[in-house]
Structure 1
Amino acid sequence: MHMEEEGRMKNEEEEPVSPMARLFQSPDTGICNIINIGFNSKMNPDVVLHALRHNVHKHPRFCSKLSENGAKWIETEVNVEDHVIVPSIDPEEICDGGQSFVDDYISRLTMIPLDRSRPLWDIHILNVKTLDAKAVGIIRFNHALGDGMSFFSLVLACTHKTSNPDMLPTVIPSVKRRSTVSHRLEKNDWFLWAIFTIGSTLRLIWNTVVDMFLLFATMFFLKDTETPLKGGANVRSNPKRCYHRNISLDDIKLIKNAMNMTINDVLLGITQAALSSYMNRQYEQQDKNNEEDGALLTSYPNSLPDGIRFRAGCTVNLRPDIGFKPLAEMMVKDSKCRWGNYFSLIVLPLSIRLENDPLVHLKKTKAMLARKKHSYHAALAYYFIKICLKVFGAKVVSSLYNLHAMNTTACVSNVMGPTEEISFHGHPITYISPISYGHQYALFIIYTSYAGEMTITITVDPTIIPDPHTICDDMEESLKTMKAALWERGLL
């Protein structure tokens, strides 16, 4: 028996950590994720422990630890009691409300490293009432274990429909990515088709070259403008605060259909408009403070300086299919939609300015994302990281990644969730709010769709952004303003 276990461990050690996983678990990076899940009933810790005892051994990442150099996975025994924390809560700690307690608890977690001597995950159960839940479950894990799509597939595999406990959740089906080649030309019009194809190919090559140049420039010298949202060198070591807000997914779809764009176009347009409003108020306040101090002011229209360079990193799923695959299918070896970290980052230049027409922000983001989709930047960046890891090692790549993050301002991500309410062993889920920490971004925004709503989760460095809730207020207001503009023009 001992020899069998030794042989099994040896085989497990031969499995290398994926390129992105090596980057995320590097001591110089150490990026972790938290999935904050609200429940509509008190949580029974025994139910969670029972489910883990029967299922954790089926997933290799949850019963494996990292080797000392972080390059290989080593299978190990898992005592699930060590990974499930149910803190004793003094009623006086929640006298100001359960939401503040949960926010403070998560903030403290962002400063406590995961134990690298065992699998890099834990679960925290907080039976406190918040604004939109009666209990909160917190799943924390190192990003090396998997990306957002991987973990959402895991969550979905552990839940069922609330309306029908015998059925698995309904999710957006997996579909092939759209081709970048237009099919508007008639197939028999070969001359025009050839011209279009050549032009499209040349544009694709040009976009890719420009994007890769900007990638390297951002790593070494091209910095964003210092603004009230721009973080500094200490962001990674500071505690983080998170805040989430639910907005109507139906409203987003109305705008999407009226403007002939994607949901991501609408979300980024709302974000661009909201950040413009937020920063405008920050500069207004600075102007007022300068006036009180008697300083000589430069007159800026709308209080925003001209020519602000404001860029956001954006995660891009590199799997060939869009949507969710069953967990069992993701765990199959060599699966095209495999478990793990199979994504890359692109850089999105946001237009920070006040617009008289709120729909201008939507048009700008639609054009920008269409341009970014017609580029191989994301895939090449992934392979660049893979090659650099082999040649220079994780320490050098981590430094480059941190430089890139420091020279930009924010990061955005999007995860599609279930279309109906789901439950975990009889505990209905009211919201799903993921966050990420351990990076150099002072502002990280994640959009998560769930049961007809879109949850906007903002993670911030509170020393830079002490009021993330006001950014969510601006997003709600931007959504209403855009919808009203479309109604006035008869486009809805």
Structure 2
Amino acid sequence: MHRKNPLAVKIPSLRFISPATEEEMVAATAGKGIPLSPAANFFRQPRFDCHIITILGLGKFIGAEEMKAGLEATLVRHPRFSSVQVTDKSGRDTPRWVPTKVNLDDHVIYPDVGTAATAAAVDPVAGDRFVEDYIAGLSHSRLDTSRPLWEIHVLAIRTSEAASVAIFRIHHSLGDGVSLMSLFLACTRRTSDNESLPSLPSARRRSTAAGTGFGPCVLLSWIWSFLVYTLNSFVHSFLFVASAFFLKDTRTRIMGSEGVEFRPKRCVHRTLSLDDIKDIKNAMGCTINDVLVGVTSAALTRYLSRGNEGLLPKNIRIRTSLLVNIRPTTGIQSLAEMMKKGSAARWGNQMGYILLRFPVMKCDDPLDYIRKGTAAVEKKKKSWEAIFTHLSALLIVKTLGIKVGTDLCHRVVSNTSLSFSNLVGPTEEVGFCGVPLVYIAPSVYGHPQALTVHFQSYINKMKAVLSVDELVIPNPHELLDDISYSLQLIRNAVMRH
């Protein structure tokens, strides 16, 4: 009896969503397009020309025709991926999204890998190095602004984890991590049921200062919570503003120097056990993000102590400039919901900055990294810092212009040590253009920091992804080793307790 090949799937389509909002349809009909949001325009500036790089480990090689057919039915239907950014000749007006015809030959790239494929077939580690070098080469350049700002490179080369690799390069002005993950999920199907979209990772509502019901106790609780939020917001917002002028992190060997945003970046990644992270989370009564902050703190402590006789500067200040989703509903939403007119979970760059200090210090008990990291994150959760930075950035851009806003943000970010993010991915195996995905590893380049740490979950795995300036961090795999070692150290400590 002939059995259906589970990978011979029907190409997914985005026909189930309106390709543009009503406003965009009217503007597109008039041939004018719509203005870029302040956040999207921010990511176009020379000192913040940010490009997202996402490495997809594939279960097998995807041919060019198969890839183009899949993208034609999915990605190309999205208004941001089928528009160009147009500025008037004077350059004074805000750039606009203007729909255009997408020529997939310009966006789907199959480079000649030469003898590297033969070497990788014998030694897959050689394939890992080739992919790293290829991405480093990509980070030397910027996307062509005369066409939609995205492309995908497919490398017919085996690595230690995948049969081949696809590399998405997307300009950050198209959307933030939450938006792009929603779009990516809409472009995939479950490998266990190739007619079904992946399940959305569970989302939760943001907590607020107010409780439910009414009574003296609830009123007192509301007042107290409001006071805590107000005080934390004032302190954190003051420190954020101070960081634009005089408050700097301790100068260490992970901090970038002038012009770091223009230098190429090397992207490396390591697979961790999501189950181990969940074990720590459950034992410590915290969140996965809290665990990752603690593990990163322990790894940075280990990395910075090496070669310095185990000593760290007193009161060392290591902070991350962290982009926070400010939508009313957190988590990954369906693409149809994000594209709906008036949706609270709308598409775009809906973000605010917060500055989070990592507990980089010698701890006798490894669990102290989790405790201290959780305490730092909790203070940030009970504040409106992200809302403050988002609204103040809009106000500055509106009153003083995009250049002033960019310069102030550049000073804040360059006075911190690293960028950090954690994004939840599919909870079951998914296929892209009919090919099962082995892993997802996102990163970014074009911002003024020498170290970026991303965590990306997928099924029961967690990818730790580093993007580094090799002039500052010449040994990124050593830092990956420290992250892996710190996770096991903390998990073993949990097991002993």
TM-score by length of 2: 0.89
Alignment match of 1:108 (pick from 114, 120, 137): 137
Mapped to 1, the partners of 2:165 and 2:202 lie a distance apart of: 28
Q: Does 1:161 align with 2:190?
A: yes
2:425 counterpart SS class: coil
Mapped to 1, the partners of 2:189 and 2:28 lie a distance apart of: 34
Match of 1:218 in 2: 243
Alignment match of 2:102 (pick from 78, 98, 104): 78
Q: Structure 1: which 5+ residue stretches go unaligned?
A: 1-5, 285-301
Match of 2:282 in 1: 257
Aligned residues: 464
**How far off is 1:208 after superposition?**
0.8
Match of 1:298 in 2: none
**How far off is 1:264 after superposition?**
0.6
**How far off is 1:112 after superposition?**
1.1
**How far off is 1:345 after superposition?**
1.4
C-alpha deviations, 1:63-98, integer Å up to 9, x for none? 111122453211222111111111112115763711
Pairs within 5 Å for 1:48-447 = 48-68=67-87, 69=91, 71-92=95-116, 95=119, 97-181=126-210, 190-284=215-309, 302-447=310-455
Match of 1:470 in 2: 478
| Partner amino acid, structure 1, of 2:199 | T
2:470 counterpart SS class: coil
Match of 1:288 in 2: none
**Which deviates more from structure 2 when the two are superposed, residues 173-182 or residues 261-270?**
173-182
For the 8 Å contact 1:12–1:73, the answer to whether it is kept is: no
1:414 counterpart SS class: strand
Mapped to 2, the partners of 1:210 and 1:393 lie a distance apart of: 26
For the 8 Å contact 1:93–1:101, the answer to whether it is kept is: no
1:251 counterpart SS class: helix
C-alpha deviations, 1:405-439, integer Å up to 9, x for none? 11000010111100111111321100000011100
**Which deviates more from structure 2 when the two are superposed, residues 262-271 or residues 383-392?**
383-392
Match of 1:30 in 2: 49
Identity %: 39
Mapped to 2, the partners of 1:166 and 1:442 lie a distance apart of: 42
Alignment match of 1:461 (pick from 451, 460, 469): 469
For the 8 Å contact 2:47–2:446, the answer to whether it is kept is: no
| Partner amino acid, structure 1, of 2:436 | P
Alignment match of 1:13 (pick from 20, 26, 32): 32
| Partner amino acid, structure 1, of 2:415 | N
Mapped to 2, the partners of 1:93 and 1:134 lie a distance apart of: 11
Q: Does 1:487 align with 2:490?
A: no
TM-score by length of 1: 0.90
**How far off is 1:231 after superposition?**
0.8
Match of 1:297 in 2: none
2:343 counterpart SS class: coil
Mapped to 1, the partners of 2:29 and 2:249 lie a distance apart of: 47
**How far off is 1:192 after superposition?**
3.8
| Partner amino acid, structure 2, of 1:148 | G
Mapped to 2, the partners of 1:217 and 1:483 lie a distance apart of: 37
| Partner amino acid, structure 1, of 2:174 | L
**Which deviates more from structure 2 when the two are superposed, residues 302-311 or residues 63-72?**
63-72
Match of 2:11 in 1: none
C-alpha deviations, 1:37-77, integer Å up to 9, x for none? 01011121211111223344521111111122453211222
Match of 2:7 in 1: none
C-alpha deviations, 1:330-381, integer Å up to 9, x for none? 1122211111111111000112111110011111011111100111110111
| Partner amino acid, structure 2, of 1:466 | P
**How far off is 1:168 after superposition?**
1.5
For the 8 Å contact 1:385–1:397, the answer to whether it is kept is: yes
Mapped to 1, the partners of 2:496 and 2:26 lie a distance apart of: 70
| Partner amino acid, structure 2, of 1:318 | I
For the 8 Å contact 1:94–1:101, the answer to whether it is kept is: no
Mapped to 1, the partners of 2:47 and 2:449 lie a distance apart of: 15
Mapped to 2, the partners of 1:267 and 1:484 lie a distance apart of: 16
2:320 counterpart SS class: strand
For the 8 Å contact 2:210–2:226, the answer to whether it is kept is: no
